[in-house]
Amino acid sequence: MRYRRLGGLRVGAVGLGAMPLSIEGRPDEARAVATVHAALDAGVTLLDTADSYTLPGAEPGHNELLLARALASYGGDASGVLVATKGGRGRPADGSWTVNGDPAHLKAAAKASLRRLGVEAIGLYQLHKPDPDVPFTESVGALRELLDEGVIRLAGLSNVDVDQIRAARKILGDRLVSVQNRYSPAVRAAEPELRLCAELGLAFLPWSPLGGISRSALDGPSGVPGTEGVFHAVGQERGVSPQQVALAWLLAKSPVAIPIPGASRPETIRDSAGAADLELTEPELARLDAGLPPSA
């Protein structure tokens, strides 16, 4: 596993997005824990979660509690693992995703996450999504207070634009270390945010990084319109999955990119982790880029 920088920390170049372990269609706990353990065995040291990763209408924190149990039962050394959680979204019974960026809510949510994770301080706490009904600077101010209080060690943002990143940087300074936006072969609208993160030295954590890539090489050509199976073709030539090619393509996009693919089976995260050691050639990267649809 190659490594990248996140703030002053060194983390595996591919993380684990733990959301699928707790929402609809989730595996049983034994398989979920086995998936986390497989990630750690493969060198993954960044585990991404959120208090809202649970079933609709359920109590917050299912995923955080699951990760805490998985880490506690891991037989190896987990001292270098960074658990990154998020606050500011909810899951009501209708299955929707609500947004609440009220500072009082964020501070209470972070302290509840701290208790569930069973740590002295949350390694990385991220604003899950800006709340249109709350001034963005007030939500970020709550992160600053949590940092000052020692509840969290580092702060991050998710689902933000360039102006919001710059505004948060003014408030948090070097304690802002990451941005988590959607980015994949199919959805590349966050190019400006990725470029800004590289300029500022912030880690960029693409969520849903496999968007547009069908689940398996056996499923047929890539799901990205117009690619004509280019990720699958390169994968077949290199003897790896198209998902691994997509993650390696993402890693080659920028030295600050740390994709966090989801997984609900041990074999899936083992395959994804392998992308950290897959170095695509310049001709391969050019071929992949040429096969992409216009940026969405």
Enzyme catalytic residues: 53
Q: Say which DSSP state 264 is in.
A: S
Q: Which residues of 9-42 are buried (b: 16+ CB within 10 A; e: fewer)?
A: bebbbbbbbbbbbbbeebbeeeebbbbbbbbbeb
The sign one gets for the Cα dihedral 256, 262, 266, 268 is negative
Give, rounded to a whole angstrom, the gap between the first and last alpha carbons of the chain.
Answer: 30
Q: What does the CA dihedral 130, 136, 142, 145 come to, rounded to 10 degrees?
A: 130
Element at 165 (helix H, strand E): helix 162-172
- The burial class, CB within 10 Å (0-12 / 13-18 / 19+), for 286 is exposed
> Residue 156 and residue 177: Cα distance in Å, rounded?
6
Distance CA 213, CA 141 (A): 38
Those residues whose C-beta lies under 8 Å from the C-beta of residue 189, and which sit 6 or more positions away, are 182, 295, 296
**226 to each of 13, 37, 221, 287, 288, how far by Cα in Å?**
28, 37, 10, 13, 11
Q: What angle, rounded to 10 degrees, do the helices at 62-72 and 29-41 form?
A: 60
